[in-house]
Amino acid sequence: MIRLVTSQFTEDAEDRLAGDALATFVACAHAMLDPTTPENQLRRLEPRLLAQLPTLRALGVFELFDVRDPALAALLADEE
């Protein structure tokens, strides 16, 4: 379980939402970067990954960490 501690998220429900968003994003990203992931699964993962962006941006995750994979970074940049 990922537990995020920030000054902006003080209630347990919000902490879980933030942790769930990060865990979902990372899991989807790993699967999308795996060359053995079937195309139909990639189509299901992309909207789940993108749905996490508002929460992760609100947390400032992308101000702290860079996405190193060029294709994934381009996908995220297209969503800005």
Query: Which pLDDT band, with edges at 50, 70 and 90, does 7 fall under?
Result: very low
**How far is CA 57 from each of CA 17, 25, 52, rounded to the nearest angstrom?**
13, 12, 9
| Res. 66 pLDDT band, cuts 50 70 90 | very high
pLDDT single digits (tens) 52-64: 999 999 999 999 9
Residue 80 has pLDDT above 90, yes or no: no
Taking only the tens place, the pLDDT of each residue in 33-53 is 999 999 999 999 999 999 999
